[in-house]
Amino acid sequence: MTDHEKIRRALAPLHASPDAITEVLNMKTHRPIKRAAAVCLAAALALALCSVAYAADLGGIQTAVKIWLNGRQTDATFTTEGDGSYTLTYTGEDGAQHQEGGGGIALEDDGAERPLTADELIALLDDTPKVAYADDGTVTLSYLDQALDITDRFDGDGVCQLELTQPDGSPLYVTVIHSGSLGASTSAYIPADDLR
């Protein structure tokens, strides 16, 4: 039964003029729930488009993070791109703005490569030792809340190997090539030749 038939049947016992019945039949029925849902959907869509435009203007997705840098927790802005790259912006101990970047890929079980997610990149940044070279020649290795002066620990080939302790108490074997690469492993030292 259509709406028109329902209205005719409801109005049949009443003695209204044919013009009044026609006017009622021609009235559009309003569905406030559907209208409210449409308004909410339109607002959500507009908000989503604004968010995408905002992220596009910034060049990536920005996240405020606390990260270990130089042996201390630091507030930073972490910006990621869809290709697994990131930019980290923070205020250093000298009060100046510093920026560093990088990226990474993960190998799936089937051997396929995929870009690291933002969470994986943040964890990698936070849990990976870092080396800083000062203008006065001092070399500092930082890992979480530790900052070690390793300036005098390099051998004649410019290689420094040392064992750090991870938060769970297990060892982390670190190999540093002076003014070059750094490698860390939970099982053994990475050979210097593999880092050059």
- Structure-model confidence comparison of residues 186 and 83, the more confident one: 186
Its sign, for the CA torsion 73, 76, 80, 62, is: positive
* Separate counts of helices (H) and strands (E) for the chain: 5, 12
Average pLDDT, the chain: 76
Tens of pLDDT, residues 34-83:
455 444 444 444 444 444 433 333 445 788 888 777 677 888 888 887 77
Task: Give yes or no for a contact between 175 and 160, defined as CB atoms under 8 angstroms apart.
Answer: yes
* Identity of residue 143: Y
Kindly report the pTM of this predicted structure. Answer: 0.53
Is residue 10 scored above 80 in pLDDT? Answer: no
pLDDT at 35: 52
pLDDT at 195: 84
Q: Which long-range contacts (CB under 8 A, 24 or more apart) does 29-33 make?
A: 29/3
Please compute the mean of the pLDDT values over residues 1-18 and round it to a whole number: 61
- Structure-model confidence comparison of residues 191 and 67, the more confident one: 191
* Rounded-to-integer distance, Cα 137 and Cα 140, Å: 10
